[in-house]
Structure 1
Amino acid sequence: MTYSDRARAFAALHQPGNPVVLYNIWDAGSAKAIARAGAAALATGSYPVAAAQGFPDGEQIPLEFVLGNAERIVAATELPVTIDFEGGYAREPEQLTANVKRLAETGAVGLNFEDQVVGTAEFYSIEEQAQRVAAVRAANADIFVNARTDLFLKEKDASKHAGLMAEALERGAAYAE
Structure 2
Amino acid sequence: MSEAKARSLRELHQGKLLVLPNAWDEASAELVVEAGFPVVATSSAAVADALGHEDGERAPWREMFAVVARIARAVPVPVTVDAEAGYGLAPDRLVAELLATGAVGCNIEDTDHRAGGLVPAAAHADRLAAIRAAADAAGVPVALNARIDTFLPHSGFSGAERTDEAIRRGRLYRDAGADCVYPIGISSAADLGKVITGVGGPVNGNTGPELDLDTLASLGVARVSFGPRFYRAGPAAMRDGLEELRRAAGMGGPGARAAGR
Q: TM-score range by the shorter chain?
A: 0.7 to 0.9
Which position in structure 1 is the counterpart of 2:164?
A: 166
Which position in structure 2 is the counterpart of 1:130?
A: 125
Which position in structure 1 is the counterpart of 2:60?
A: 62
Shift of 1:155: 6.1
- Provide the rounded CA distance (Å) in 2 between the counterparts of 1:119 and 1:50: 18
Unmatched tracts of structure 1, length 5 or more: none
Sequence identity of aligned pairs in percent?
Answer: 38
Change (3 A) 1:38 1:150: same
Which position in structure 2 is the counterpart of 1:147?
A: 146
2:8 aligned with 1:14: no
TM-score of the two chains, using structure 2 as the length reference: 0.61
| Matched residue SS, 1:39 | coil
What are the Cα deviations for residues 37-68 of structure 1, in whole angstroms up to 9, with x where unaligned? Answer: 21111101110010111100011111111221
- Provide the rounded CA distance (Å) in 2 between the counterparts of 1:97 and 1:161: 37
Shift of 1:138: 2.2
AA paired with 1:113?
I
2:2 aligned with 1:3: yes
- Provide the rounded CA distance (Å) in 2 between the counterparts of 1:107 and 1:161: 40
The answer to whether the Cα contact below 8 Å between 2:116 and 2:154 also exists between their aligned partners in 1 is no
Residue of structure 2 aligned with 1:115, choices 110, 114, 118: 110
Which position in structure 2 is the counterpart of 1:106?
A: 101
Unmatched tracts of structure 2, length 5 or more: 176-261
Question: How many positions carry a matched residue from both structures?
Answer: 171
| Matched residue SS, 1:21 | strand
- Provide the rounded CA distance (Å) in 2 between the counterparts of 1:106 and 1:5: 16
TM-score of the two chains, using structure 1 as the length reference: 0.88
- Provide the rounded CA distance (Å) in 2 between the counterparts of 1:14 and 1:168: 20
| Matched residue SS, 1:7 | helix
Q: Which runs of 4+ in 1 moved over 6 A?
A: none
Change (3 A) 1:161 1:120: farther
